[in-house]
């Protein structure tokens, strides 16, 4: 068995996840120490952190997520790494993701109408058509499925937010900067080429990635995303002058403060993008790795909804989220002090053998399937229904096709996002 110190380092290190999620380690920790203190050593140019309590069992993860009075999203925000400055913390605290009730409830109400089942149903035909066009465009050609699939959530978000179609790749690039900062390849991605004059002007504000003294710029700070916020305000000016039926217009009418508006744009542009950018390629790779389940699904496409849930359980797009203890308390026998970080591991909870029989088996008919890939409690993912709709659209198009791998998949180096950078395939009729 790996020495405990090595296990803890493995859980935290972004390099671990470039080779795979350490499910064996999670299993050992669930059995031996389901709430464990994990140190945060320095990673490359990023300084060491204070350490945190990692939560691995399904029951404890759900308890933390449904108890914002004990485990706050607001005190230290929701990333393992602390913001660099008090100004950075104040900025990210304005984001809906980093709020506690009742402030969180107010922000959620402003945008919830865009994500009701009824609102998403109105988009289904459009999403289906886009998915069909994407898969059809790739037929017979060597294709990086990560790149292909990423365009569906980006295109859908641009549609919902009222972003001009030619500017949609900016959403992809901004998400890459934020979610891929621990991976050199993703941190500097720049794929947007056909841009509006408004977008080209906003990109004049693109910041440097390091401070003059060589320290890296926090990718979740206001300074690191100056070009995105310049674009957000330019788009807002257009929407104020000529409101349309999109989420941007609704946000502007909802009484958001300046920081709240910027952070809501940030949340949509990044969080609404990266979940599917991870989940769709991860789902396909899981099917390719389990040919008998893939054949079972092809033989009975009515199993697609339950297959999607199992893909989400088996390949959770986000592996963990941080909270901060509001008071001294105890969790699974561990004394946690007020102000300490508490990080819930969705990826571990989804393989908890007390909840999921034979949890490492991929079973497209698994029922019940109480995965926590969309979170739990007041922060349950607002876009979950939209995400499922887009996943179904892509996989409906893929099921009648033949898919073969043409190269090895390449994973993202991140201790937060469960992502693929490349998945080379050939899709044929």
Extents of the domains making up the chain: 4-428
- Name the band, by pLDDT with cuts 50, 70 and 90, for residue 358: very high
Q: Is the pLDDT of residue 276 over 60?
A: yes
Percent of the chain with pLDDT over 90: 69
The residue length of the chain stands at 429
Q: What is the pLDDT of residue 160?
A: 85
Percent of the chain with pLDDT over 70: 99
Q: Is the pLDDT of residue 353 over 70?
A: yes
- Per-residue pLDDT tens for 84-111? 999 999 988 988 999 999 999 988 888 8
Q: Is the pLDDT of residue 219 over 50?
A: yes
Q: pTM for this structure?
A: 0.93
Q: How far is CA 39 from each of CA 49, 60, 211, 216, 221, rounded to the nearest angstrom?
A: 8, 20, 26, 21, 24
Which tokens hold the place of 115?
């994500």
Phi-psi label, residue 127: left if phi above 0, alpha if psi -120 to 50, beta otherwise: alpha
Q: What is the pLDDT of residue 119?
A: 82
Distance CA 282, CA 288 (A): 10
Q: What is the pLDDT of residue 1?
A: 39
CATH of domain 4-428: 1.10.630.10
Q: Is the pLDDT of residue 143 over 60?
A: yes
Q: What is the pLDDT of residue 67?
A: 98
What 8-state DSSP symbol labels residue 334?
E
Q: Where are the beta strands (DSSP E) in 141-239?
A: 142-144
Whole-number average pLDDT of the chain: 92
B/e letters for 244-262, b = 16+ CB within 10 Å, e = fewer, are eebbbbbbbeeebeeebbb
Distance CA 268, CA 55 (A): 27
Q: What is the average per-residue pLDDT within 171-189?
A: 82
Which range (181-195, 220-234, 351-365, 386-400) has the least confidence? 181-195
Q: Is the pLDDT of residue 180 over 90?
A: no
Q: What is the average per-residue pLDDT within 143-160?
A: 93
Q: Is the pLDDT of residue 299 over 90?
A: yes
H or E segment to which residue 321 belongs: strand 320-325
Q: What is the average per-residue pLDDT within 144-153?
A: 94
- Per-residue pLDDT tens for 363-417? 999 999 999 999 999 999 989 999 999 999 999 999 999 999 999 999 999 999 9
- Per-residue pLDDT tens for 223-242? 888 999 999 999 988 888 88
Q: What is the average per-residue pLDDT within 259-288?
A: 88
Distance CA 380, CA 97 (A): 10
Q: Is the pLDDT of residue 176 over 80?
A: yes
Q: What is the average per-residue pLDDT within 57-83?
A: 97
Q: Is the pLDDT of residue 243 over 90?
A: no
């Amino acid at each position: 068995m790996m020495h405990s110190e090595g296990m803890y380092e493995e859980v935290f290190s972004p390099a671990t996840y470039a080779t795979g999620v350490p499910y064996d380690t999670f299993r050992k920790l669930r059995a031996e120490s389901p709430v464990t203190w994990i140190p945060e050593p320095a990673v490359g140019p990023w300084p060491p952190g204070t350490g945190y309590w990692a939560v691995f069992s399904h029951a404890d993860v759900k308890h933390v997520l449904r108890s914002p009075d004990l485990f706050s999203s607001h005190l230290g925000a929701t990333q393992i790494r602390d913001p660099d400055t008090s100004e950075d913390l104040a900025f990210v605290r304005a984001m809906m993701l980093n709020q506690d009730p009742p402030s969180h409830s107010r922000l959620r109400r402003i945008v919830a109408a865009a994500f009701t089942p009824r609102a998403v149903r109105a988009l289904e035909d459009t999403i289906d058509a886009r998915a069909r066009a994407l898969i059809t465009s790739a037929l017979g050609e060597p294709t990086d499925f990560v790149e292909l699939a990423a365009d569906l959530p980006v295109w859908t978000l641009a549609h919902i937010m009222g972003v001009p179609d030619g500017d949609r790749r900016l959403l992809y690039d901004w998400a890459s900067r934020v979610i891929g900062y621990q991976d050199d390849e993703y941190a500097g991605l720049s794929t947007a080429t056909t841009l509006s004059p408004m977008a080209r002007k906003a990109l004049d504000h693109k910041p440097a990635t390091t401070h003059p003294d060589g320290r890296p710029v926090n990718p979740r700070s206001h300074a690191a995303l100056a070009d995105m916020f310049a674009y957000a305000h330019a788009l807002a000016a257009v929407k104020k002058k000529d409101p349309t039926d999109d989420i941007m217009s609704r946000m502007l009418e909802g009484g958001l403060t300046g920081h709240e508006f910027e952070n809501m744009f940030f949340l949509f542009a990044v969080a609404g993008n990266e979940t599917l950018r991870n989940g769709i390629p991860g789902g396909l790779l899981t099917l390719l790795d389990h040919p008998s389940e893939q054949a079972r699904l092809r033989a009975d496409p009515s199993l697609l909804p339950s297959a999607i849930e199992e893909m989400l359980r088996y390949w959770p797009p986000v592996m963990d989220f941080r909270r901060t203890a509001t008071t001294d308390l105890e969790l699974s026998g561990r004394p946690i002090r007020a102000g300490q970080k508490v990080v819930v591991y969705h990826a571990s909870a989804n393989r908890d053998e007390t909840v999921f029989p034979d949890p490492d088996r991929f079973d497209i008919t698994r029922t019940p399937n109480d995965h926590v890939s969309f979170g739990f409690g007041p922060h349950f993912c607002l876009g979950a229904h939209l995400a499922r709709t887009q996943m179904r659209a892509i996989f409906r198009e893929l099921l009648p096709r033949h898919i073969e791998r043409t190269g090895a998949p390449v994973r993202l180096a991140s201790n937060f996002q469960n992502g693929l950078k490349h998945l080379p395939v050939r899709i044929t009729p």
